[in-house]
Structure 1
Amino acid sequence: MARPRPGHRPALSWRIAISARYRRTHAPSTAEAGAWAQVLVHHQLLHAAVLAPNGQWLVQHRVEAPVHVLDGPTAMVGLAAEIQLRIRTTRNRTR
């Protein structure tokens, strides 16, 4: 078995759980979810994100893509976190 190089991390992503840097002490508000939705659309990471009258979010990733329904602010903020994680892991692979 080869010894790891100094500073090299083995590819054990399936074993390592990524933990949040800051644990939330409260549920996200509609205003926070709206701010994240606006940022994601502005940076073209989502095509559209619309708050429905019942509190759900209608999200479309691309123009041709189907519309997904998210159940409230927590799901919208969770989607933003998933997108951020995908961007960060993609950047690290290309470096």
Structure 2
Amino acid sequence: MIWRPARSSEPTTAEADAWADILVRRRLLHAAVLTPTGQWLVQDHPDGAVLVLTGPADVLALAATIQHHTRAMRPESR
């Protein structure tokens, strides 16, 4: 694993929106919608349960989890 320094600031709504857009466009999520309260409604497939994320940090954590899972599932190419 590559070491990365800790974030110097909290994730922004714009950053979370960008990640949500990427995840939906790449079909890693079915939907991700920002609500007026700042929460995010996320659905992984059309018939799946809707998850409520409390803010941008949760969206970035979800993106990191999906990215980790996607990379872990790749066959090793050597």
Q: Which residue of 2 aligns with 1:32?
A: 15
Taking the TM superposition and a 5 Å limit, the aligned residue runs for 1:48-87 are 48-87=31-70
Aligned partner of 2:46: which letter?
V
Aligned partner of 1:35: which letter?
A
TM-score by length of 1: 0.75
Show structure 1 runs of 5+ residues with no match: 1-17
Task: Count matched residues.
Answer: 76
* Larger Rg belongs to: 1
Question: Hey, what's the Cα distance between the residues in 1 that align with 2:50 and 2:3?
Answer: 28
**Residue 20 of structure 1, CA deviation:** 5.2
Q: Percent identity?
A: 50
Name the structure, 1 or 2, with higher relative contact order (CA <8 Å, separation 6+): 2
Question: Hey, what's the Cα distance between the residues in 1 that align with 2:24 and 2:11?
Answer: 19
CA displacement, residues 49-69 of structure 1 (integer Å, 9 cap, x when unaligned)? 000000000000000101000
1:23 is the counterpart of 2:13: no
Question: Hey, what's the Cα distance between the residues in 2 that align with 1:72 and 1:40?
Answer: 16
SS class of match (1:59) = strand
TM-score by length of 2: 0.90
**Residue 25 of structure 1, CA deviation:** 1.1
